[in-house]
Every structure is written in structure tokens, then in C-alpha cells.
């Protein structure tokens, strides 16, 4: 069984490949003090919040684009 992660998907905006990136929590208005992991498109700058990050910060809405 093969599990697909957020990083295996293409950007919804431009179709580019997504890369892991750490961003400060205030960039996403998350109530945590340490940096958070996002899936970011290096082509257009689209950001997507992985499920694991949402679970860590207590958010909802899988794959929410920022």
C-alpha cells in the first residue's frame, strides 16, 4: 500500500512540485511558539498546511491553502 503525502501532490495554482519548508507560526497565525512545516510551491509561492501540522497546532481543514 502506497501512502500519498501532501508533498507528492502538485500545486493547485500552477501545478508545480511542492517542497517542505519551515515558517514562523505568526506567518500563518498559529497559536504555537516554534516554526511550523508547510508544503510550499517554489514556482508561485502557494502554501499548503499538511495534516500533521494541523494536528500539531489543533487546526482543522486538511490541506488548507494560505
Contact 17, 41 (CB under 8 A): yes
How confident is the prediction along the chain (66 residues), in pLDDT tens digits per residue?
A: 667 788 888 999 999 999 999 998 888 777 788 888 999 999 999 999 888 888 877 755 444 444
Domain 6-57: which CATH class? alpha beta
How is residue 10 written as a grid cell?
Answer: 502538485
Domain ranges (residues) in the chain = 6-57
Question: Which pTM was predicted?
Answer: 0.72
**Model pLDDT for residues 14-32, shown as the tens digit of each residue:** 999 999 999 988 887 777 8
Residue 64, pLDDT score: 47
Bridge partners, 21 (sequence order): 38
Amino acid at each position: 500500500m502506497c501512502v500519498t503525502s501532501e508533498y507528492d501532490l502538485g500545486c493547485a495554482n500552477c501545478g508545480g512540485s511542492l517542497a517542505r519548508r519551515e515558517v514562523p507560526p505568526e506567518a500563518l497565525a498559529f497559536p504555537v511558539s516554534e516554526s511550523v512545516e508547510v508544503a510550499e510551491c517554489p514556482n508561485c509561492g502557494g502554501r499548503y498546511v499538511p495534516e500533521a501540522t494541523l494536528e500539531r497546532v489543533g487546526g482543522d481543514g486538511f490541506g488548507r491553502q494560505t
